[in-house]
Structure 1
Amino acid sequence: MSKNYKKLALSIAFDAIGMIPIPFFDLLWAPTSGYLMTKMYKGKEGKIAGIISFIEEIIPFSDFIPTFTIMWFYTYVFHKKEDDKIIEL
């Protein structure tokens, strides 16, 4: 499996975590998702996606938006970016 598809699987998993309907979970997950997004996708696009991910997770009832998966498609389908590091924590 290429790194691109590993990152897609991770993106889907992070989007699923963001949909967990636990009260106040978003207060913890919103900054975490923003941070993970900036680590998964470098540069200006990653920073913008991190901000969008944070906002999407902190706003009630917007958790259904698959921000990580959308960013993966933007990066690897629409812009055809090559393999890169999966996450540097």
Structure 2
Amino acid sequence: MKLENLSRRKKLVLSILLDVIGMITFIDLFWAPISAYIMTRMYNGNKGKIAGAVSFIEEIVPGLDFIPSFTIMWFLTYVFNKKDNQEPITIKVKSN
């Protein structure tokens, strides 16, 4: 299963779960690269690479584990980004 092909809802649930794992993980040296890799797989292109780097830094720096980087990225992608947020409009036309 490719992570970038998950539905919005499944990505949100996965994001919250991964943030919880990141908050309770005491082995940040182990979790930081895994977190960064998963982030780059969930989001394509440069935004995934940047988010992966931010996630890595957030996990590796002591005291920053409380930041929900996966959930923030989900909101940036699906709530605050107007370009990706546009749903197709269906117009029904009656014919005589």
Same fold (TM over 0.5): yes
- Deviation of 1:78 after TM superposition, in Å, equals 0.9
Q: Which runs of 5+ in 2 are unaligned?
A: 1-5, 86-96
Alignment counterpart, residue 46 of structure 2, candidates 44, 47, 60: 44
**Partner of 1:26 in structure 2?**
28
RMSD over equivalenced CA pairs, Å: 1.4
Q: For 1:75 and 1:16, how far apart are their aligned partners in 2? A: 20
- When normalised by structure 1's length, the TM-score is 0.84
Q: Give the unaligned 5+ runs of structure 1.
A: 83-89
How many matched pairs?
79
Cross-structure match for 1:85: none
Q: Write out aligned runs for 1:1-89 (5 A).
A: 3-22=7-26, 25-80=27-82, 81=84
How many angstroms does 1:79 deviate by?
1.2
* C-alpha displacement of 1:21: 4.8
1:63 is paired with a residue whose SS is: coil
Counterpart amino acid of 1:28?
F
Q: Percent identity?
A: 63
How far, CA to CA, are the matches of 2:45 and 2:25 in structure 1? 31
Higher relative contact order (CA 8 A, sep 6+): 1
Deviations 1:7-53 (A, max 9, x none): 0000000000000152xx10000000000000000111000000000
Structure with greater Cα Rg: 2
Q: Find runs of 4+ consecutive structure 1 residues off by over 3 angstroms.
A: none
- Where 1:60 maps in the other structure, the secondary structure is coil
